[in-house]
Amino acid sequence: MNLNIKEISGEWKEYTLVNDSGMSVSVLDYGGIMTKIMVPDRNGNLENVVLGYKDYLDYESNSNYFGALIGRVAGRIQGASFELDGKTIQLAANNGNNHLHGGPSGFHRVIWDVKPFQTDDTVGLELIHRSVDGAGGYPGNVDITVTYSLNNKNQLILNYMASSDQTTPITLTNHSYFNLSGNLTNTVQDHHVTLDSSQFVELDNDLIPTGKLIHVAGSSFDFRSGRVLGDGFSSDSYQNKVAGSGYDHYFIFENTMENQAIIHDPASGRVMSIKTNQPGMVMYTANSLNEELQLAEGSSRKYLGVCFETQASPASLHHEGFPSVMLNAGENYVKQTVFSFRV
């Protein structure tokens, strides 16, 4: 196990976690951003499996949220407002009339306090931040600790903990774009995905949940037995088309399988499985990624990555029947997502 620290432009630090088999994860204190995850393919070649900028200063704007830690609330909040105890709470609108991923001053733009740690079979980082009452419009002082741990089983474990002195919405996630082909060799069109989900949330033209749950049976959203992501890219389904000919939808987990998601890239042989105690996740297939960004291994393009944003649903702030994002004062928010890699 090893830990390397590098200064970035005098203001940020990049921490690289390395396990005994050579897998590594690089993380900035700025935004808790995962810049690289180096994972072996079937031939033992270590290659990067997440999208990241060539020039680290591009993370300052980072409108695509590459690799970032998202909060207080991941996803879109309709009308940038919600009701709490009979009062309307107004948030910053940064996605049309809506509030996206914690707003313009969300956790993706925070410099986190970082405490590295190491044991015999784990190397990791503890990221700490206090979000003060009124930050971004949200009520309550919230203390957040997020732990990134890499072990010798090629597992990346993300633990999220938070507490607040007022009732407030919170659902944290990581917004890494995965591409298991390695070093952006291909798009994710041929990635084979299995999801433990029989329902997803319908979206309107602004990608806001309508409040309706749709059963996946017989559709391009049925990943229960596995399918390639390209099925949705070429689908005539209105729900695929509204998302830009792809996926940007919240899937509710059934919790009938050992892992909530399994992703396989046949060309490289890499397999990533996701296990979480979150109630669902947004799967986003980079449908709106433009071709002007300079990434570490080349130019960006549509479908170059896929995000698995494990979280509760901000739709619960406006509709019943959705996994809640509300954290009561004095209670503890404790969530975990484990990304396991193999071939």
For the annotated catalytic residues, the residue numbers are: 175, 309
Rounded distance between C-alpha atoms, residue 213 and residue 295, angstroms: 36
Rounded distance between C-alpha atoms, residue 65 and residue 59, angstroms: 8
> Are the C-beta atoms of residues 156 and 148 closer than 8 Å to each other?
yes
Nearest CA among 333, 5, 339 for reference residue 171: 333
Rounded distance between C-alpha atoms, residue 254 and residue 251, angstroms: 9
Nearest CA among 307, 281, 303, 304 for reference residue 195: 281
Rounded distance between C-alpha atoms, residue 96 and residue 249, angstroms: 18
CA distances from 183 to 17, 45, 296 (A): 19, 11, 8
Rounded distance between C-alpha atoms, residue 1 and residue 59, angstroms: 28
Rounded distance between C-alpha atoms, residue 275 and residue 84, angstroms: 32
Q: Where are the alpha helices (DSSP H) in the chain?
A: 230-233, 238-242
Rounded distance between C-alpha atoms, residue 141 and residue 237, angstroms: 43
Neighbour count for residue 336 (Cβ, 10 Å)? 15
> Are the C-beta atoms of residues 150 and 124 closer than 8 Å to each other?
yes
DSSP label at residue 197:
E
